[in-house]
Structure 1
Amino acid sequence: MMQHILIPTDFSQHAWNATSYALQFFKSVNTTFHFFHIEKPNDLSENPLHLDSLVTSKTASEGSLKMKEWRQKVTAYDTSTNHYFKEESVESSFVEAIKTYIIKHSIDLLVMGSKGSSCFTGRAIGSKTARVITRVKCPVLIIPEKAVFKKPTRIGLLTDFNLVYKNKVIKTLLAVADIYKSSISVLRVAQAENALEDSQNSNRELLKNQLKEVSHSFHVIENPNLETAVQSFVDSMQIEMIAMIAKNLNLFQRLLFKPQDPNKNYPMHIPFLVLHE
């Protein structure tokens, strides 16, 4: 269950997009939302990280005032009786502050807003965001700038079957899918007409068994261009959320950080769920 959800906020529109989406998505879930504002200490040279758009307040007092206004905005917007709220502001580097907060408060999910109009070009998810995804070992739900909440009837799970999905990964995926009884469509993008290796077949059968309690299906697209294949899958299958395990560096590098065609525009209008072991 998603009992504790952490939302870093710089009080920007991107942060509000993530917040409003999360409030709607988890409307029926008994959840405590933790709003966390991080100010960069004056002696730190590291740029702040909030999916490339974190803007820190000039003073702690300004941050406290903005957090109070943020809480008022949230309570005025949220109509659910299932939600509780906590706020905190700290002065620290972004990644380390997030890691510490997650451990201290047993956070189940991290929700962040993204900047830009493209999910797969690298403009929306750059090197700073990559550090958040790879260094913070907590499931991350990335909410695109242009995302409009819609109950996800289909979740797309990207895999190459090279990894065994551990229980924690499957538990998170099933917990998200259970909220709206979403089906899970598993996609493998094959660059050539190569049969699965024995280990991949074994992992596929294991995943099939792990998903037996939920409606699911398996798909394969033969296309040398991963971004094009995924976008085609999203459009044709009416996928409303994409999920991928963070440990699968091959897919992550190809899809999010080093796309084959950085100039091609892929609309980022659906959330992206990053799963961690």
Structure 2
Amino acid sequence: MKNILVPLGLSKDSVSIARLQYAIDFAKELGGTVYAVQVFKELPRSGSLPSVNETLKDISATTIEEKLAQVDKKGVTVTALPLEGDLLEAIPEFNLKHSIDLIVLGAESDDIKMPYFLGETSGSLVKKTEIPVLIIPENYEFKPISKILMAIKSGVIKKETTLNPIKEILSTFNADIKLLQVKTAEYLPEDSEFQKDLAALISSYKSSENGTLFQGVLEHLNENNPDLLCVLRRNRGFFGKLWEDNKVLKKDFESRIPLLVLKGAY
């Protein structure tokens, strides 16, 4: 995960800066580069001068640099990246040219009055992008990852590259991974067949029967006390349903530790 992208402007400045610092600390361990992104919307060409749009780009770049001045870069290359247009369109377009390995997003506030775990834009990015996403709780400070809990419903993974991010994390931090298979009402016999690469990664395995994957995760989080929770975003199933409306309610799913969402397994 050499190229890590952090969208700014999705939350208040202090939270964005804390998330950016986490991404930098994470990138330092992985030997990666961070792109700090903020979008700006150009005025319609028919009613504006090119110089006006250049000014908007410069203003966006300045805003990013002001935030970068408040973090410790720790020797990591951090690039201010103003992108034109809509974030959901700009990131995939940038990815085609620069091969982004990971997007770092922030969860909504942990204030009990805030009902959402992910807001509209963050939820849309998780739902629509094929890039792995790391979701950081509000003001969460980086610490080395020694224990990972990976929660799945099915061990079938057809895309060869799906597990690459978790492999790199395991290698970098010399971490252990516990696999939790949650068997819901939709569980099929073929779900018990584990892809060879997945089987080779896990340190231990446990299964449970629950109504949803989230219920299974809640049941085992305190028991395992992991530093990272990992899930697979498939095109169908519980997580597919979660993001039907883009926003994710806390009552449906939330995590108080970093959550790694790997792109669809099939």
How high is the TM-score relative to the length of structure 2?
A: 0.80
CA contact 2:134–2:259 (8 Å) conserved in 1: yes
Q: Please give the alpha-carbon distance, in whole angstroms, between the structure 2 residues aligned to 1:165 and 1:248.
A: 12
- Name the amino acid aligned to 1:65: T
What is aligned with 1:245? 232
CA contact 2:231–2:261 (8 Å) conserved in 1: yes
For residues 66-145 of structure 1, the aligned pairs below 5 Å read: 66-74=63-71, 77-79=72-74, 81=75, 83-117=76-110, 123-145=116-138
How far did 1:216 drift? Answer: 1.9
What is aligned with 2:38? 37
What is aligned with 2:8? 9
Any gaps of 5 or more consecutive residues in structure 2? 45-54
CA contact 1:125–1:256 (8 Å) conserved in 2: no
Q: SS of 2:130's equivalent?
A: coil
How far did 1:275 drift? Answer: 0.9
Q: Please give the alpha-carbon distance, in whole angstroms, between the structure 1 residues aligned to 2:230 and 2:107.
A: 16
Q: Please give the alpha-carbon distance, in whole angstroms, between the structure 1 residues aligned to 2:97 and 2:240.
A: 31
Aligned length: 248
Q: 1:61 to 1:201 in 2, by over 3 A?
A: closer
Does residue 185 (structure 1) correspond to residue 178 (structure 2)? The answer is yes
CA contact 2:182–2:209 (8 Å) conserved in 1: yes
Q: Please give the alpha-carbon distance, in whole angstroms, between the structure 2 residues aligned to 1:251 and 1:265.
A: 10
Q: 1:122 to 1:130 in 2, by over 3 A?
A: farther
- Name the amino acid aligned to 1:6: L
What is aligned with 2:52? none
Q: SS of 1:168's equivalent?
A: coil
Q: 1:84 to 1:227 in 2, by over 3 A?
A: same
CA contact 1:7–1:36 (8 Å) conserved in 2: yes
Q: Please give the alpha-carbon distance, in whole angstroms, between the structure 2 residues aligned to 1:179 and 1:269.
A: 23
Any gaps of 5 or more consecutive residues in structure 1? 44-57
Q: Please give the alpha-carbon distance, in whole angstroms, between the structure 1 residues aligned to 2:262 and 2:25.
A: 21
What is aligned with 2:47? none
For residues 16-31 of structure 1, the aligned pairs below 5 Å read: 16-31=17-32
CA contact 1:14–1:115 (8 Å) conserved in 2: no
Q: SS of 1:149's equivalent?
A: coil
What is aligned with 2:222? 235
Q: Please give the alpha-carbon distance, in whole angstroms, between the structure 2 residues aligned to 1:268 and 1:197.
A: 27
Q: Please give the alpha-carbon distance, in whole angstroms, between the structure 2 residues aligned to 1:7 and 1:67.
A: 11
Q: 1:267 to 1:138 in 2, by over 3 A?
A: closer
* Coordinate RMSD, CA, aligned: 3.0
How far did 1:134 drift? Answer: 2.1
Q: Please give the alpha-carbon distance, in whole angstroms, between the structure 2 residues aligned to 1:189 and 1:212.
A: 16
2:207 to 208, 220, 233: 220
CA contact 1:182–1:215 (8 Å) conserved in 2: no
CA contact 1:147–1:268 (8 Å) conserved in 2: no
Q: Please give the alpha-carbon distance, in whole angstroms, between the structure 2 residues aligned to 1:18 and 1:263.
A: 20
Q: Please give the alpha-carbon distance, in whole angstroms, between the structure 2 residues aligned to 1:85 and 1:263.
A: 32
Q: 1:141 to 1:152 in 2, by over 3 A?
A: same
Q: SS of 1:161's equivalent?
A: coil
